[in-house]
A and B are shown apart, each in its own frame.
Chain A
Amino acid sequence: MTMLLTIAVIVLVFVVIFQIAKASEYVSLLKGEEASRQQNNKINGFLMVAFLVLGLIGVWYCNEVLFDKTLLAQESASVEGERVDSMLWLTLAVTGVVFIGTQIVLFWFAYKYQEDKNRKVYFFSHSNTLEAIWTIIPAIALTVLVVIGLRNWFLFTGEPPKSAMVVEITGKQFGWIFRYPGKDGAFGKKYYKNIDPASNTLGLLWDDKLGQDDLVTEQTMYVVKGKPVKLIIGSRDVIHDVGLTHFRLKMDAVPGIPTTIWFTPKFTTAEMKEKTGNPNFQYEISCDQMCGNGHYSMKGVVEVVSQEDYDLWIAKQSPYYFAAFPEKDPAAKSSAAGDSSKTAKPAESKTVAKM
């Protein structure tokens, strides 16, 4: 009923507006084309300036309201991200000046040069000087931005420092699996046809000694404050993307083609809770590449901790190998000890279809 009423009201308003519009057309016919055009010009010329002024106020107001809700108000949580931020501010300055300048000129000219019977237009068809100026100046400005950008780009995508720890992160519909190389510092081989959702989520080859001490967890990734971390990114099914917005970077997870990215966390999660004043703060991993109907819920967490806390945490983990073969676990108690997440049994624990 309210629905019908709303529609009725909208239609009514529309009819009224239409009648007014129709009437104004008759009036303008009576007044003559010239006169009505002049009137329209006056109104629209005024609206041009009004739009400019209100628009610029709006830009300011929008910034006032929203600035604190963005990462612009927060320091980058990674060392490398600082470069993103400084570059972002420079780009903002350059484009901001151009934006404000050109918009003012555009709407001001529109207002200023609205039709006036007494004005003789200036027949100005080209000027090589002017055109050279606005080819060269943007070209120079852009060269500066490109040079800065590429220096940063090669740093972000280059090799991390030798001291970096390595974590493998694998996306799947709809969650993340992490693997740590274990004591030997090397990952064991894996093959996707060995994947068993119940006991071998990554398809590790158990014969490979290097893999027998690998740690596998889900949901939360632990990294160390101040220590560069290199992510080896992969996907088990469709394309995902490791979005680390607080660290200012992201990289796709592509099935069959490993990708990498590295960064150095600056603050522990606890420190960020204080800095942001948000007790629920989390470094979230958002999937940033459309990956299916659960895309919006594909969340992971990065827990940045101090080296001591990391050592404590890692000591509690037992290799994934023992989860698959509990009888071989020297700790012999129960393979379910430690982090519960590593034996996570999500909805996928159906039997694997024989292909």
Chain B
Amino acid sequence: MSNEAVLHAHSDVATHDAHGDHSHEHHHHETFITKYVFSQDHKMIAKQFLITGMVWAVLGGLMSVLFRLQLGYPDATFPWLESILGKWAKGGHITPEAYYALVTTHGTVLVFFVLTAGLSGTFANFLIPLQIGARDMASPFMNMLSYWFFFAASIVMLSSMFVETGPFSGGWTAYPPLSALGDASPGSKTGMDLWIVSMALFVVSSLLGGLNYIATVLNMRTKGMSMTRLPLTIWALFFTAVLGVLSFPVLLSGFILLIFDRNFGTSFYLSDIFVNGVGALPNEGGSAILFQHLFWFLGHPEVYIILLPAMGMVSEILSVNSRKPIFGYMAMVGSLFAIAILAFLVWAHHMFVTGLNPFLGSVFVLLTLLIAVPSAIKVFNWLTTLWRGNIRFTPGMLFAIGFVSLFISGGLTGIWLGNSALDIHLHDSYFVVAHFHIVMGVASMFGMFAGIYHWFPKMYGRYMNNTLAYMHFWITIAGAYLIFWPMHYQGLAGMPRRYYDFSIWESFKQFQDLNRFISLVAMIVFAAQFFFLFNFFYSIFKGRKLTNLNPWEANTLEWTTPIHPGHGNWVGEIPEVHRWAYDYGKDGKDFIQQTTPVGADESHH
């Protein structure tokens, strides 16, 4: 009954439950502000995360279109660019400063604001209480703060676009000394201050959210919902939150040292530096590599913070739409656990060529390639889930299948890059760009799309339009491969990342046509996302209405709530759970919801 007790402090739902027959909405008057702005309802907070994430996805995507314009058409001028970007595109040509600022902001925004806040912020908030059978998060107030810290981080990041010296432009990894020295790069002046402030706010948001998710999953499961009956989405979101809580503080500590180096004359990261035009700096004895350790101690778990929620949702959606149990539930949980543990033990594989002790490097090679084992288990289990199923191609299902395809493609190149003796050749080339965009960027976006299409009816009580969704899927998956597949070849030619222009390089300039092609596809794929955006916002207001509590005929608890669940989710008592979430096709029955008691004649699995 801890659910009720916690919620009691914030609303009168619990007392109504005691009476049973009232719907609490009669009495629970909410103003516009408490319902839509400073809401403490996990479902509304989820929507706030989602829509803020979508705004950032559009901005971040647009940035990539702009810098792809430079890469695809380095000699062309676009006068309209000057009208948008002003001095950053003098004469209709993006300047190197602007190019690097765009690349940096694209990376930061997509990694943190879209694929962390937008993805796990949305679905952890939305699904955890609904799928474990809780009325809300352990602390709805902290949950609200989590969103508003994210919002504040967003505003600060956005404001950094408008400072005179430009936004931070040293890459999303923000390696010092470049990020510490305004004299080495104009973006490292005010832009970097704002970037750090924004990221610090973001870390606070992540921690508030993560602690809440963990507390909720551990303490607020409904009667009968043992840990091994949890849907895989919840397991994935749980491990994600654990990763975040343990690794974000390390990132923050790295940033704090960076703030000291930038502003208070310390030398944590700085040593032996002579800046052109300024002269020798007094700092001695620091280690630039220290920051990389602190950064990647978050940075690598961050990759899994992004990927695990997508994996969890994909597992759920694949099973529901194959009308078949997920194959190897315990192995799926085990592999999530293994990935979560290993995520903390592989960070230095980003640093093989920093002069890292070769023995240390070899340990990280071993641990890195170990991750391929749980990943392989997951892939084969997904494939087996499809085998002899009865597949319904809902839009969510298509994106889930797309996720598996992309995860395979991008995961396999991880085996190349995780092996230091190959990384020494391929490091920081376009091969890396291809690898992480496919496996982390696009795959996780697919997981996010799958989740949105699948749970949209629960969020808004309406359906999204299928035709638009199908077009969105097929254009996006084809486009994603057309953009990133050829980049492997650029990487195998040694073409370095983060180059503004390749024309002076005898070794890399042979790809001009290919770059133009990639840029063109990138623009088309970006445009195709409007099918989704339009569909999403249109369907909120005008989509076909849900008439059925359980549109996908799924087993999990969220589909036992009313079509428009109020704050508190269930009218009356929270249902009791009697079985795991994956009894599809059992004993000839299409699906058996978790709330159905186990029959006397039921077979064991």
Chain A residues within CB distance 8 Å of chain B? 3, 10, 14, 17-18, 20-22, 24-25, 28-29, 37, 40-41, 43-45, 47-48, 51, 55, 58-59, 62-63, 66-67, 69-72, 81, 83-84, 87-88, 91, 94-95, 98-99, 102-103, 105-107, 109-110, 113-116, 119-127, 130-131, 134-135, 138-139, 142, 145-146, 148-150, 152-154, 156-158, 172-173, 192-193, 195, 197, 203, 233, 236-239, 241, 243, 245-246, 248-252, 254-260, 278, 280-282, 284, 286-297, 299, 347-348, 350, 352-355
The answer to whether A135 touches B499 (Cβ under 8 A) is no
The answer to whether A113 touches B388 (Cβ under 8 A) is yes
The answer to whether B415 touches A295 (Cβ under 8 A) is no
Provided the pairs A91-B415, A245-B494 are in contact, do residues A109 and B372 lie with their beta carbons within 8 angstroms?
no
Min CB gap A96→B, angstroms: 8
A71 to B495 Cα, complex, angstroms: 10
The answer to whether B415 touches A173 (Cβ under 8 A) is no
A84 partner residues in chain B, CB cutoff 8 A: 421-422, 424-425
Residue of A nearest to B370 (CB): A142
Q: Does B572 sit within 8 A of A, measured CB to CB?
A: no
Residue of A nearest to B351 (CB): A252
The answer to whether A58 touches B585 (Cβ under 8 A) is no
Partner of B96, one of A233, A296, A348: A296
Provided the pairs A249-B424, A255-B272, A295-B100 are in contact, do residues A352 and B499 lie with their beta carbons within 8 angstroms?
no
Q: Does B73 sit within 8 A of A, measured CB to CB?
A: no
Task: List residues of B (286-338) whose CB comes within 8 Å of A's CBs.
Answer: 286-289, 322-331
A45 partner residues in chain B, CB cutoff 8 A: 391, 393
Residue of B nearest to A114 (CB): B391
Task: List residues of B (567-605) whose CB comes within 8 Å of A's CBs.
Answer: 582, 584-588, 605
The answer to whether B493 touches A69 (Cβ under 8 A) is yes
Task: List residues of B (47-103) whose CB comes within 8 Å of A's CBs.
Answer: 80, 96-97, 100
Min CB gap B285→A, angstroms: 8
The answer to whether B280 touches A195 (Cβ under 8 A) is yes
Partner of B358, one of A153, A193, A246, A286: A153
A67 to B286 Cα, complex, angstroms: 44
Provided the pairs A172-B276, A243-B496 are in contact, do residues A91 and B467 lie with their beta carbons within 8 angstroms?
no
The answer to whether A237 touches B275 (Cβ under 8 A) is yes
B549 partner residues in chain A, CB cutoff 8 A: none
A145 to B419 Cα, complex, angstroms: 8
The answer to whether B287 touches A153 (Cβ under 8 A) is no
Residue of A nearest to B170 (CB): A290
User: What 1/0 flags go to B263-285 for Cβ under 8 Å of A?
Assistant: 00000001111111111111011
The answer to whether B376 touches A355 (Cβ under 8 A) is no
Min CB gap B377→A, angstroms: 6
A43 to B393 Cα, complex, angstroms: 9
Interface contacts beyond A126-B327, A153-B365, A250-B424: sample of 8 additional A-B pairs, CB < 8 Å, sorted by A: A109-B383, A116-B390, A124-B327, A127-B328, A145-B415, A150-B366, A256-B286, A348-B277
Chain B residues within CB distance 8 Å of chain A? 80, 96-97, 100, 169-171, 173, 175-178, 181, 184-186, 270-282, 284-289, 322-331, 353-355, 358, 361-362, 365-366, 369-370, 372-373, 376-377, 379-381, 383-384, 386-393, 398, 401, 404-405, 408-409, 412-413, 415-416, 419-422, 424-425, 427-429, 465-468, 470-471, 474, 477-478, 481-482, 485-486, 489-490, 492-494, 496-502, 504-508, 510-511, 514, 527, 530-531, 534, 544, 582, 584-588, 605
Partner of B274, one of A37, A51, A125, A237: A237
Min CB gap B113→A, angstroms: 21
The answer to whether B288 touches A257 (Cβ under 8 A) is yes
The answer to whether A251 touches B353 (Cβ under 8 A) is yes
A257 to B531 Cα, complex, angstroms: 51
User: What are the 6 A-B residue pairs with the smallest beta carbon separation, nearest first?
Assistant: A245-B494, A256-B271, A259-B355, A121-B585, A21-B467, A152-B421
A292 to B383 Cα, complex, angstroms: 45
A116 partner residues in chain B, CB cutoff 8 A: 390
The answer to whether B391 touches A115 (Cβ under 8 A) is yes
Partner of A70, one of B393, B478, B493: B493
The answer to whether A131 touches B377 (Cβ under 8 A) is yes
A44 partner residues in chain B, CB cutoff 8 A: 393, 398, 470
A315 to B569 Cα, complex, angstroms: 84
Min CB gap B480→A, angstroms: 11
Provided the pairs A153-B365, A256-B288, A278-B506 are in contact, do residues A69 and B425 lie with their beta carbons within 8 angstroms?
no
The answer to whether A259 touches B354 (Cβ under 8 A) is yes
The answer to whether A103 touches B510 (Cβ under 8 A) is no
25 cross-chain CB contacts under 8 A = A17-B531, A21-B468, A21-B471, A47-B474, A69-B489, A107-B401, A123-B584, A126-B330, A127-B327, A134-B380, A135-B373, A138-B373, A142-B369, A150-B366, A203-B280, A243-B496, A251-B353, A254-B355, A256-B273, A256-B286, A282-B507, A292-B184, A293-B186, A296-B96, A296-B498
